[in-house]
């Protein structure tokens, strides 16, 4: 099994954190969001992964090479972002046979039984009903609800509310790359970019069959507020709590699960939780922290904070209620 993961995006809505790191390496519920996706690929037996990198791509490469051991990992640099379809098209040199390929967007976390994808003979698209279809590619189904008949990228008029969530299991990979070649050669763009949706629609026009696969959980990490919401949901799902040795280490503090606390973190005279993710090398003292993400090597003291994101190596002191501090920043509130 091969997989493609596009991770070249800038993550504009996650600034200031993405000034110094790619969005896919921002932490949520104990690890970078990309780590949650790669863990799922390991579980289902994916052996070869191709990552499309760009913005801070060297950090993505370092993270993957240091933490994962797939049989083969390919890196494709997308210097100019011209749409998801263009990104996938750039990986075709690693997919010369007609083997099935699993494509998963790298900036969204999913909860699904991925092994069920492989039970279908036809290609499979992950879908979920949404309130605002204008933001997504939309799938229309036949009368039986078992086959996808049409795909529309970010429709301006209502054509349905079954959104493509960013999981594509393509059983005819040669045909997919042929259709990507077609839209790029003919300069077929939607909203100025080459879209994978347009290539998949061309596959349907050429007789390929697609079936919908409804996703149980689809967690957005695109904005600070949705990243924190995803952190809450996943910590609840994992029933995350410190180990017994950590609880002994934090004997002068109160820990309220669910929380994720790295073994190297130092916490004293504080109340932590619920729904707090504390990364490696972090120091927290004389503080009350809930519903927050504290990134690696951060120093937090004398704070009362909730719905807060503190970046890598940041220093934050003083009383507040909500904070969003980027990497290597300092903020001292009286």
CATH of the domain at 46: 3.90.550.10
Q: Answer for the pair 18, 12: CB distance below 8 angstroms, yes or no.
A: yes
Q: Let me know whether 213 and 300 are in one domain.
A: no
Q: Let me know whether 170 and 255 are in one domain.
A: no
| 225 found inside a domain | no
Cα–Cα distance for residue pair 311/294, rounded to 1 Å: 7
Q: Let me know whether 183 and 304 are in one domain.
A: no
Q: Let me know whether 109 and 177 are in one domain.
A: yes
| 228 found inside a domain | no
Question: How many domains, the chain?
Answer: 2
3 state SS of 43: helix
Q: What is the pLDDT of residue 245?
A: 79
- DSSP-assigned beta bridge partners for residue 290: 306
Q: Let me know whether 20 and 107 are in one domain.
A: yes
Q: What is the pLDDT of residue 195?
A: 92
Tokens representing 187 are: 């300069």
Q: Let me know whether 121 and 167 are in one domain.
A: yes
| 184 found inside a domain | yes
Among 220, 249, 265, the domain boundary falls at 220
| 69 found inside a domain | yes
Q: What is the pLDDT of residue 334?
A: 59
Q: Which structural domain range is residue 268 located in?
A: 240-332
Q: Let me know whether 293 and 188 are in one domain.
A: no
| 235 found inside a domain | no
Question: What are the distances in angstroms from CA 158 to CA 136, 169, 193, 200, 282?
Answer: 12, 26, 21, 20, 48
3 state SS of 186: coil
Q: Let me know whether 314 and 265 are in one domain.
A: yes
| 232 found inside a domain | no
Q: Let me know whether 216 and 178 are in one domain.
A: yes
Q: Let me know whether 113 and 176 are in one domain.
A: yes
Among 220, 255, 273, the domain boundary falls at 220
Residue 247: CATH number of its domain: 2.160.10.10
What are the pLDDT digits (tens) for 235-250? 999 888 877 878 888 8
Cα–Cα distance for residue pair 158/99, rounded to 1 Å: 35
Q: Answer for the pair 51, 5: CB distance below 8 angstroms, yes or no.
A: yes
Q: Let me know whether 91 and 198 are in one domain.
A: yes
Along the 334 residues of the chain, how does pLDDT read in single tens digits?
A: 899 999 998 888 888 888 888 999 999 999 999 999 999 999 999 999 999 999 889 999 999 999 999 999 999 999 888 899 999 999 999 998 889 999 999 888 888 888 888 888 899 999 999 888 888 889 999 989 899 999 988 888 888 999 999 999 999 999 999 999 999 999 999 889 999 999 999 999 999 999 999 988 888 788 899 899 999 999 999 888 877 878 888 889 999 999 999 999 999 999 999 999 999 999 999 999 999 999 999 999 999 999 999 999 999 998 776 777 777 776 776 5
Q: Let me know whether 212 and 264 are in one domain.
A: no
Write the DSSP symbol of residue 286. S
Those residues with Cβ within 8 angstroms of residue 33's Cβ, 6 or more apart along the chain or in another chain: 23, 24, 25, 26, 27, 106, 107, 108, 109, 221
């Amino acid at each position: 099994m091969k997989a493609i993961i596009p991770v070249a995006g800038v993550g504009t809505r996650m600034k200031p954190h993405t000034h110094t790191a790619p969005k896919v390496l921002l932490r949520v519920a104990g690890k970078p969001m990309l780590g949650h996706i790669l863990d799922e690929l390991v579980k289902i037996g994916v052996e070869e992964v191709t990552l499309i990198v760009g913005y801070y791509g060297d950090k993505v490469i370092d993270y993957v090479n240091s933490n994962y051991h797939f049989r083969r990992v390919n890196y494709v640099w997308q210097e100019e972002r011209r749409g998801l379809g263009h990104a996938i098209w750039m990986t075709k040199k690693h997919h010369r046979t007609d083997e099935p390929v699993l494509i998963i967007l790298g900036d969204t976390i999913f909860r699904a039984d991925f092994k069920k994808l492989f039970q279908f003979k036809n290609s499979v698209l992950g879908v979920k009903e949404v309130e605002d279809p204008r933001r997504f590619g939309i799938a229309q189904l036949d009368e039986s609800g078992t086959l996808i008949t049409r795909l529309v990228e970010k429709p301006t008029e209502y054509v349905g509310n079954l959104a493509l969530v960013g999981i594509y299991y393509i059983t005819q990979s040669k045909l997919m790359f042929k259709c990507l070649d077609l839209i790029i050669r003919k300069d077929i763009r939607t909203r100025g970019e080459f879209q994978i949706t347009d290539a998949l629609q061309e596959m349907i026009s050429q007789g390929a069959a697609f079936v919908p696969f409804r996703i149980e959980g689809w967690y957005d990490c695109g904005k600070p507020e949705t990243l924190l919401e995803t952190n809450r949901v996943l910590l609840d799902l994992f029933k995350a709590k410190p180990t017994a040795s950590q609880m002994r280490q934090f004997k002068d503090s109160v820990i309220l699960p669910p929380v994720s606390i790295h073994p190297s973190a130092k916490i004293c005279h504080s109340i932590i939780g619920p729904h707090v993710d504390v990364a490696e090398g972090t120091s927290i003292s004389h503080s009350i922290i809930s519903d927050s993400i504290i990134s690696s090597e951060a120093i937090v003291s004398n704070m009362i904070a909730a719905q807060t994101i503190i970046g890598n190596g940041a220093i934050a002191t003083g009383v507040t209620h909500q904070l969003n501090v980027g990497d290597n920043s300092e903020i001292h509130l009286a």
